[in-house]
Structure 1
C-alpha cells in the first residue's frame, strides 16, 4: 500500500485500480493512521472538507465496502466509532521508510547509506499526489516531503562519511541548487568539495550562501556554517573520512547506556540552537532534559553544570571554569564576555531552576555583548530572557517508555523475558509513573526484586517503592526531584499544589475557586512555569509523581479539607451536567467522560466511613443519583459498578431515595433486572410527584421493564412520564417509544405504530437524540427491514451527534439484526463483531446477551448450528439475559439443541461468539 506518490493499493504484488477519488481518500486516511482506528467523523471530514452531504454516513459505508472488495474482508476492520487498517506497519510504504531509517542508525556509514538508498527508492513522486489538494492531508504531505528531504541529506552525509564523497558530489550539487536556502545542503556541498580537493570552491559556497541570506532575508547563517568554514581553513583531519569509518552513534555521549526515542525533540533542539540565541529545555524533574541535552552536544560546547551550585555568585564562577579561568573574573559578565569575544560559541547551562535570577542576568548580558554566542539551558522554569525560545519536554511516547524499561531491566536480569505479556505489563508500569524516563529507569531497577506483576501492583498502591532505602538525591529518587522544585515555590503555590493533588485525571480553571481564593490563577501559572503542573488548556494536570508527593504533604486533616473541596467541585459540575442533560446538550457526555476519574474519586470519598454527617450522606447520594441519570446514556463500566454499591438497606429518607435511584441504575446497566426493579420501585414509591429526579427514575425503570419483559409496567410508567410537567421533552418521547417497542417485541408492531400516532405531538425530538428514529426502525424491522436500516442509520447519526453512547449502541444492535434477516451475511458478520465489541466495552450486559442471540441466528444461517445452539444455551442459563418475546421466541426455539449443552459465563460466551464470527 503506498502513499509516497499517488495513493496506491497493491495485492499479491499487483497494483489494484481504484475507481475514484473517495476510495483513495479513505484508503490514504486509514494508511496514515499507523494501525490506529480512524473515527467516522474524521473520514467524513476528509471526504467532504467539512461540508458532508445529508447521507454522508451511508456514502462512507459504501466507499469502505467497495474498498474491502479490493483489500479482502479482514484488512479494513470496523471498530467502535470508526475503521482501522489491520496491516503490519511495513505493508504501507511510509511505514517501511520509517523502519529503514531506524535500522540505519545502528549501522556503519556504508551499510547505512545503502539502507537509506533503499528507503528513498520507495518514493514514487510527491506524497499523496492525487489527493494532496485536500486540506486534511496538508500536515501529512508536509511531513512526508520533509522526511524525504531529511533522508536524502542523511544519505548524502553517510556517503561522505563512508569515503565516497566524489561519487556523491553531483547529487549534492543538484540538491544545493534545488534548495538554495536550505543550510544543510550547502554544508554537505562544502564538505564534499573540501574532501575532493576543491577547498576554494567550498569557501565560495559559504560566502555565496551568507550573501544570499543577508540580501534576501536580513539574517546570518547558523554557527554551524561559520564553524565548518573555520575547520576547513584549519584543514582539520576530522573532516577527512577515516580509512575505516566508525559506526554511527559512537560520537560523544555522556552516558554509556542506550538513548531511546526523542528524534523529533532532538531535531527541534538542534534547529532552535541554529536559529536562535537562547534556547531553554523546560520540563518536570526526571523527564530527561539533561540526557536530551547531552545527545545534542558535539563536544565543542562550553558545558556548565549548576545542580550543585547554591549561591548567585556561583553561576559566573562556573562559567569562568568552563572558559579555563581559575577564578571568577573581576567585573563578572563583562569580563566573561571579553573572554568569549566575537568567536562563535555555544554555552550550555544545565539545571538552572534554583538560580534563575543570576542565570537570567548573566545570560542576558553575555548574549548582548557576544554576537556569535548561543546559549542552551535546561531548567524546570524558563529563564525569561529576551528572545528566549522555550521547548517544553514531556514524557516519552508509550512505545519508547516500554523499550527503555525493558532495556534497563534486561541489564539487571539476564533471563528478563521478551514477549507480548512482558511488554503489556511494562506498559502498565510505565503508565503508573507517567512515562518519566527517570521513574521508568528506577522502576526497571526494582523489577529484578519484585517481578513485573508485583511491581505493577505495588506502584498502583504508591510510588514509595521507587525511593532509595537510605540516602539518595534529587537525581536518583522520584520524590526528591519533585521536592526540589516544590521547595522553590511560594508557600501559597505550595498549598495550592498540595490541594490539587486530590484531583485525578486533571482539572479545569473552574476547579480553582474550590481550592484557593481569588489569586489562584497566578499561582497556577507559577506551578505551570515550575513544570509541576502540565498545561494543555483548557485542562491542567499533575503528573502522578507530583500527586504522590503532594498528597504526602497534606496530612489527614489537610487531605480531608482538600477532598471536601474536590467533592464540592464535582457536585457543582454534576448539577450542571444534569441541567444540560435535560436539554440534550452535546457538551454533557464528553464533559462527563473527561471528568470521570474525578467524579469517581469524589463518589468514593463521599461514600467513605469518614463521611458520617447527614450533610455528607445527602451530598454523596445526590452526586450518585445525578451521575446515574446522566451516565445511563453514556455508561462506563467502572462507574456502573460504583453506583451499584450505593444500595441502601431501607428506603425512607431523601438520601436513601437517591441512593436507591443510583444503585437501581447500576443494577440495570449490569443486567441485574429484578434487583434494579426493586430499588427503582422503592425510590419511586417514596418520591412526591414534583420530585426533581422523578422523571429520571421513571425513565430508568421503563428501560429496565423493557428488558425484564413487563409491558404493563412500561405502559403505565410511560403514561405517567407523558403527563409529568417536570420531565424533559426527550424523556417523555423516550417513554412513549419504549411502550411502542413493547408492542413490537410482543409481536404486534401495528399496535406500537398506533400508540406513536396517539402521542405524535410529543415525538418531535429528532434534533435532540436518536431514540425516536430507532423506535420507528424497530416497528418496521419485521415487515420492511430495508426501511428499518435507514431509520437505524439516522438513529446512529443523531446519537453520535449528541454523544449518546447508549442509544447509539442500541441502534447498532438493531442494525445487525436487520442485516441478518435480510440475508446480507458478509455485512452482518462485520456488524455483529463491531456491535458486540461496543456493548461489551460499555458493560451493557442485556445488549451483550441480545447480540449473543443474534450471532447464534447468524451462525445457524451460515451452517454452524452446533455453535448457535451453544450460544442460545448460554443465554438461557444466565438470569441477566433479557426476556425473549414475540417472534424471537420462535427463532430461538428453532436454534436450541435437542440435548441442551450447559451454559457458560458471559466472558467465555463472548469469546466463543467472536471466534466463530472470525472463522465465518
Structure 2
C-alpha cells in the first residue's frame, strides 16, 4: 500500500504517496491527533470522546464512527470496499493507528534524535550534526499546533518540546566540537533567552564565546546565569558550570578548540545539486580573482550569488582554503572578527588585526557570503586583511558593493531564457523523476521562467511545487507568488521569496524605503524624472542607493538612464505602498500625455509617439487603477489624449475596450471630455472595419465638440465622418468633405487642413476623378510637409501609389512603396506599415514577382492578426482587390506555400525581403 505520513510538529497534515489528503474539520482532525499521540497504542472510544469533545456529553458513538470512517477513506483511498482497514484499525472497543503502516514526523524526529545522541557519545560529531539538522527541520511550529487549548496533547506536547530542546542543544554541542563556535554565538545567546534555566545552554554559550576569543564575555555569561538562577529559583549553578568557569579563568587546554577539528583544506560545502546555467561565468570570476584581490558579486536576492561564488571558488588553487564565512545569520557586526577567527581556527583575541597576524603571508581565498547587512564591518575587515596580508584574496557576495579601492564588482544577472528553462527541468526532475513535459507544458515552463524574471531561487521554488501542483496552477498562482513559491523543507533565509526580498527591505533607510514603495507602482521601466514625479520630490540619492543595493536595476546603454524593478521585487514594493503612490502615478501618466499631445501631428511626432507607445504598460496600469477607483473622468481625459497613439500603433481591440469602460463610468461627464473619446472610438472602429459605428461615433464627437467649443475635435470629426460615411455607402459625402475643408481652414490649424485635403482627395479618387484627386492630394502633402504631419504625408503617398498602380505604373509604384516602408519602419508606425506591406504585396505581384507578393501578404495577415487589425477590413474595396491579384498570380498550392512562409517573417525580415527583392530578379 502507499506510504502514509502524518505531521503533528506544527499544523497537522497528512500525505498518501506524497500527495496531501484532507483531514476534515477540527473535531475530526482531533480524533486522529488523539490516536497519533497514543504512539501506536489503542485508545478506547470513551477516551476519544472525552479527549475530543471534553464537556460535551451529547455526542454519540455514531459521530465518532463516522469520523473514523472518513479518516480511513482519506488515509487509504484505494482500499476496496469491505476490505479491513490497514492504517486506522479497530481494536477492542476503540481504535489504534498502526505504527508500522504510518510515518509520523514526531516519531521520525525521536528516532533521529536518539541516533544523533548515540553518535555524539561516540564523538562522531559530523554524523550527529547531520542527523540533528535533519531532525529539527521536521518542526514547522509547535507540536499539535492545531489544538492549543485542548488537554489531550499536553503531555505529548511537553515531551516533544523537551526532546526538541535537548536535540537543539545536542546540535550546538556537535557544531562546537566541529569548530563552529563563532557562528553559534548568536544562536546560543537567543537560545539562553528562550530557556534561561537551561544550565547546559549557558555552558555551551560560554564555551562558544571563549573559543571565539571572547574570554571576558564568556565569564560575563556565567555571571548572568548565576544571577538568574539565584534570583528566580534560589539556586547556585551546578558543578558543570562551576568547572567551566574555573577552566576559563585558568585558560585550561581542555576547553581550547581542538587543533584537528578544522582541516586546512578549506570548508566549502559539497553541492547537493548540479550547477545549472551560467556557462563560462565561474571561469570569468576565476580570471578576475587571478588579477584582482577583491571581487564582489552583486545582484538582487535569489539571483544565485552564493552558488556562483562557491562554484567559482572551487576552481581556485590556493595553498589554504577556500574558506567560506557565512554572514547571513550574523546579526551583530562586532561578531564578524570572531566569525572569521572561528572559521580560520585563529585562537586568542578575535580581531581582524589578530586574524591578519596569523594569516601572515599565507595564500588564502576567503569567501565572505551575504554581507550586505554588515556592510561597514565587512568593508573594514576586508580592508584590514587585504592591506596586511599580501596572499589573501576575497570573494564577497553582497547586494551592494563594498566600496573599497581596487574592488571589482561583478553583477550577477537573472538567467537568460534558455538557462532558466534548463534549471527548471533539472530541479523538477528531482521532484517528479518520471515526468517529461510535452510541447504545451514546455511552453508553460518558458513562460513561467520569464514571468519569474529568470531568478534562480524563484525558478527552483517553482520547480519544487511540481510535486503537488500542475504547471497551470503554478503559472496562475504567480500573482500570489510569495505564497505559492514556498519551500517549507528549507529552513534557511531563502525559504521563501518574501523573506528574500524582505531581507533587503529591512536594510533600507526610512527615506529609501518610502521611495522603494513608490517605485513599485511603475508597470515597466522608468527614468529619473518619472521617479521624482511619483515620489513628489527629487530622489536621486535614494534611487542611487536602491540601485547599489540591487533592489532597482539600471538599464545599461539607455539615455537618459532607465531603471526597472524585477517583477518579484515590484510585487513586494506594491504590497507596502499606500494609495498616494497610485494617485501620483496616475497624475504622472496624465501629465506625460498632456505634454506630448501638442506635438503628435508635428515635426517631432515620431519621438513623442514612440515615447507614449513605450509607456503603454503605464497607461494600462493608470486606466485600470482609475477604473478601480471609479474615476471615469480620469479615464476619459487620458483616453482623449492617447487615441492618436492607439490609432497609429494599432491598439484597436484594447482601445475600444477601455473606451467602453470609460464611457460607462463617465456617462455623466461634460462634452469637453466626451468629444475626444468619441473621436477616438470613431478612428478605432474605422480601423476595425466597422464603418457604421465609426460614423456614429464621429457624429457624437462633432456634437460634443460644438457643445464644448472644441473646434479641433468638431472639425476633425466632420472631416473623418465624411470618409467613414462614404466607406459605408452613403451619398453626398464629397460636398460634406468640402465643407469640412472650409471649416478646417477657418480653424487656423494647418494639420487639420492637411487631413481635410487628404480625405477630399480620397473621396475624389473614389468617384473616379483621378486627376483632381491627385491635385488635392499633392496639396495635402505640401501642407503636411510644412506643418510636419507625417501621417498625412504617408497616407497621401499611399493614395497616389494606388492611382499609379491603377494607371499601370507598377515599377514606379513598387519603388515608392519600398521607400515608404523604410520610412514607416523608422517611425515605428504599425497600422500604416501593415497597409503598406499589404499594398506592396500587390505591387510585387503586378511587376512579375508573385512569390514575394504572397510572402508579404502572409506577413501582413499574421502581424495584423496579432493586434486585431486587417487592411482588408479597413479598406474593403482596394485592399481586397489587391489581395485577389496576388492570389491570382500563383497556382493555389504555390500561393499557400509562400503565404505560410510569410507568416513567419519578423518586421525586420519583411523590410529585408522588400528591399532586396525589389532589386533582384523576379521569384516565380
The 5-angstrom pairing of residues 791-810 of structure 1 reads 791-810=816-835
Work out whether 1:678 is the aligned partner of 2:696.
Answer: yes
Structure 2 match to 1:911: none
1:378 to 1:763, Cα distance in 2 relative to 1, 3 A: closer
* TM-score between the two structures when normalised by the length of structure 1: 0.62
Matched, 1:813 2:838: yes
The corresponding residue for 1:590 is: 610
Show CA shifts across 1:173-229 (max 9, x none). Answer: xxxxxxxxxxxxxxxxxxxxxxxxxxxxxxxxxxxxxxxxxxxxxxxxxxxxxxxxx
In structure 2, the CA distance between the partners of 1:638 and 1:439, relative to structure 1 (3 Å rule), is: farther
Judged with a 3 Å threshold, the aligned counterparts in structure 2 of structure 1 residues 469 and 264 are, in CA distance, closer, same or farther, namely: closer
1:476 aligns with 2:495: yes
| Structure 1: distance between partners of 2:748 and 2:427 | 60
Aligned to 1:891: none
| 1:494 aligned onto 2:510 | no
Q: Give distance in 1, aligned partners of 2:756 and 2:847.
A: 29
Residues 513, 629 of structure 1: alpha-carbon distance in 2 compared, 3 angstrom cutoff:
same
Query: What is aligned with 1:371?
Result: 390
Give the conservation status (yes or no) of the 8 Å contact 1:617–1:655. no
Using the TM superposition, give the Cα deviation of residue 304 of structure 1 relative to its aligned residue in structure 2, in angstroms: 0.8
Deviations 1:413-471 (A, max 9, x none): 23423333222101111122111000011111123322112221221465431135799
Correspondent of 1:303 among 314, 317, 324: 324
Which residue in 1 is equivalent to 2:576?
553
Q: How many Å separate the matches in 2 of 1:834 and 1:730?
A: 32
Q: What is aligned with 2:173? A: none
Aligned to 1:643: 658
For the residue of structure 1 that corresponds to 2:640, the secondary structure is helix
C-alpha distance 820-377 of structure 1, shift in aligned 2 (>3 A): same
1:661 offset after TM fit, Å? 3.0
Q: CA deviation at 1:335?
A: 1.5
In structure 1, distance between residues paired with 2:692 and 2:396: 65
Residue aligning to 1:400: 419
Give, in angstroms, the shift of residue 799 of structure 1: 2.2
Alpha-carbon distance in 1 for matches of 2:726, 2:306: 62
Q: 1:777: which partner in 2? A: 801
Check 1:822–1:734 CA distance in 2 against 1; reply closer, same or farther (3 A cut). Answer: farther
8 A Cα contact 1:364 1:386, kept in partner: no
Task: Give matches, 1:322-337, under 5 Å.
Answer: 322-326=343-347, 329-330=349-350, 332-337=351-356
Task: Indicate whether 1:567 and 2:620 are aligned.
Answer: no
Check the 8 A contact 2:603/2:787 in 1, yes or no: no
Say yes or no: does 1:837 pair with 2:853.
Answer: no
8 A contact 1:733–1:772 mirrored in 2: no
Bigger Cα displacement from structure 2, 374-383 vs 801-810: 801-810
- Equivalent position of 1:607 in the other structure: 627
Q: CA RMSD in A?
A: 3.1
Match of 1:416 among 412, 435, 441: 435
Change in Cα spacing, 1:501 to 1:721, as seen in structure 2 (3 Å) is farther
- Aligned-partner SS, 2:375: helix
Q: Could you tell me how far apart the structure 2 residues matched to 1:334 and 1:824 are?
A: 81
In structure 2, distance between residues paired with 1:495 and 1:510? 17
Pick the aligned partner of 1:288 from 270, 284, 304.
304
| 1:289 to 1:471, Cα distance in 2 relative to 1, 3 A | closer
Which has the larger displacement, 526-535 or 268-277?
268-277
Match of 1:623 among 627, 630, 638: 638
The alpha-carbon deviation at position 505 of structure 1 amounts to: 1.1
Judged with a 3 Å threshold, the aligned counterparts in structure 2 of structure 1 residues 811 and 733 are, in CA distance, closer, same or farther, namely farther
Deviations 1:846-888 (A, max 9, x none): 44686676444433332339999xx9xxxxxxxxxxxxxxxxx
The answer (yes or no) to whether the contact 1:711–1:739 under 8 Å persists in 2 is no
Q: Are the counterparts in 2 of residues 635 and 842 from structure 1 also a CA contact under 8 Å?
A: yes
Aligned-pair CA distance for 1:280: 0.5
- In the superposition, the TM-score normalised over structure 2's length comes to 0.61
Report the alpha carbon displacement of residue 746 of structure 1 after superposing the two structures with TM: 4.9
8 Å Cα contact 1:643/1:665 also seen in 2: no
Provide the residue aligned with 2:360 in structure 1. Answer: 341
1:572, distance to aligned residue in structure 2 (A):
1.0
1:383 aligned partner: 402
* 2:883 counterpart of 1:863: no
- In 2, Cα distance between equivalents of 1:387 and 1:804: 48
- Pairs within 5 Å for 1:98-113: none
In structure 1, C-alpha distance between the alignment counterparts of 2:847 and 2:355, rounded to whole Å: 84
| Residue 659 of structure 2 corresponds to residue 634 of structure 1 | no
Q: Distance in 2 between the 1:470 and 1:796 partners?
A: 58
From 357, 368, 384, give the equivalent of 2:376: 357
- Write the distance in 1 (CA, Å) between the matches of 2:787 and 2:823: 7
Unaligned regions of 5+ residues in structure 2, if any?
1-266, 900-922
> How far apart, CA to CA, are the structure 2 residues paired with 1:348 and 1:334?
18
- Closer, same or farther: CA 722–424 of 1 in aligned 2, 3 Å: farther
Provide closer, same or farther for how the CA distance between residues 266 and 706 of structure 1 changes in structure 2, counting only shifts above 3 A: farther
Change (3 A) 1:254 1:751: farther
C-alpha distance in 2, partners of 1:866/1:376? 62
The C-alpha deviation readout for 1:756-779, integer Å capped at 9, x for no partner, is 356565253697522332222122
Q: Per the alignment, do residues 410 and 470 of structure 1 end up closer, same or farther by CA in structure 2, a change over 3 Å counting?
A: closer
Corresponding residue number in structure 2 for 1:687: 705
Q: 1:528 aligns with which of 530, 541, 547?
A: 547
Q: 1-side partners of 2:402 and 2:723: how far apart?
A: 60
8 Å CA contact 1:776, 1:791 repeated in 2 = no
CA 325–255 in structure 1, closer or farther in 2 if over 3 Å, else same? same
CA shift, 1:323, in A, is 1.6
What per-residue deviation string (whole Å, max 9, x for no partner) do you get for residues 637-660 of structure 1? 674354343463668633333332
Counterparts in 2 of 1:590 and 1:834: CA distance versus 1, 3 Å: same
Pairing partner for 1:738 from 741, 750, 759: 759
Quote the residue 2:274 is aligned against.
Answer: 258
Q: 1:672 to 1:265 in 2, by over 3 A?
A: farther
Corresponding residue for residue 724 of structure 1: 744
Q: How does 1:49-88 map to 2 (within 5 A)?
A: none
Partner Cα separation in structure 2 for residue 382 and residue 392 of structure 1: 10
Paired with 2:540 and 2:729, the residues of 1 have a C-alpha distance of 54
Matched with 1:657 is 675
CA distance in 1, matches of 2:824, 2:738: 21
Which residue in 1 is equivalent to 2:188?
Answer: none
